[in-house]
Amino acid sequence: MNPLVELQNFGQSPWYDNIQRSMLRSGELERMIREDGLKGVTSNPTIFEKAINGSKDYDDALAHLLEHNPKQNSRDLFFSLAIEDIQQAADLLRPVYDQTGGSDGMISLEVSPDLAHDTPSTVAEARRLAARVNRPNLMIKVPATKEGLPVITALIADGINVNVTLLFSVARYEEVIEAYIAGLELAHKNGKPLHKIASVASFFVSRVDTLIDKLLDEKLKTAPPAQHVRIKNAQGKAAIANAKLAYQSYERYFSTPRFEQLRKAGAHAQRLLWASTGVKNPAYSDVMYIEMLIGPDTVNTIPPATYKAFKEHGKVRSTLKDGVDEARASLDLIQSLGISIDAVTLQLEDEGVESFLGSFKTLLTAIDSKVAAMTPQKRASA
């Protein structure tokens, strides 16, 4: 059996962490839905930067937009291009959405990363984007910064689906759950149908190992030989351990009497979504962040190379609930070696916001360059 299809027998939905106009036009996305049981798609500023800046797929559409409104700035043009893709993907995924009762079949669109620390502006933009896309299977992606927490509550209260992104720490994840449940309570109080509201919490994986392994390598250079075995035993363990403990929080929070009241009213639990599951270290299995995190009521959004690798040689069995004590021991070992998990996850959050912001700025600059290269004659002929 196709391992991507088999994942679903264990309660995990495979989503695709990529979108580009060519895959919509060629029928590639439709084929993945049909053959692989693909259940959703995620996007982010880096994905769109590579798609728009790295191809000519969008040039004709860009010229067409300028023909109708030549005064649009690069931000307006980007969102117009992105929304066209998001709407088409949403329509292709709509049968999955209907078949799963609204838990899958989702496509995500992220708010502007330069608003990550601006609560009111993020809420306002999210509402505008949701209205423009106008698809029930849209998720608005909101970064899990401190300023993003009230955004989650506000959007869920509005009945807008939310993908909470750039989550690295279990503590912040628990704050995200609180924000989600508070939003559901407001939605219920205001008479919103809770069964139509969906949310995922995108918990990033590989970046945790990348940074902690780097810090462990630095310790190896100066540590006495007696410490080398302990340091090496800690390598490649942090990300999966961190994710397993996050899932323990998921099970605890969504089995409380408080949430059970909402569940009776039709509410869905906010599923954990494993993000950043491409393996960065060639010494590790190229599918380890899928194989080691398989469990019920979860999503794995898989980048293209990892998607191909897992389809070819992935092994599927229930793993997410295994080794929880070992996961705690791994993180305790890392802490005992002088590496603060809290400091690492906060650094990764800051770097994640900056990385997406950098991609967004590069994208807007690329759009400006494309616009500048278009003569009025070229625009008119588009």
**Residue 300 burial (10 A CB sphere; 0-12, 13-18, 19+):** buried
CB 286 within 8 A of CB 315: no
Interatomic CA distance for residues 103 and 96, integer angstroms: 9
Tell me the catalytic residues. 141
By C-alpha distance, which of 278, 256, 275 is closest to 267? 256
From residue 72, give the alpha-carbon distance in Å to each of 68, 78, 111, 353: 9, 10, 18, 26
The two structure tokens encoding residue 242: 């961190």
CA of 277: how far to CAs of 15, 186, 192, 290, in Å? Answer: 11, 34, 34, 7
What span, in angstroms and rounded, lies between the C-alpha atoms of 210 and 205?
Answer: 9
Q: Of all helices (H) and strands (E), which one includes residue 161?
A: none
Distance CA 117, CA 350 (A): 11
Helix (H) or strand (E) holding 80, with range, is helix 74-99
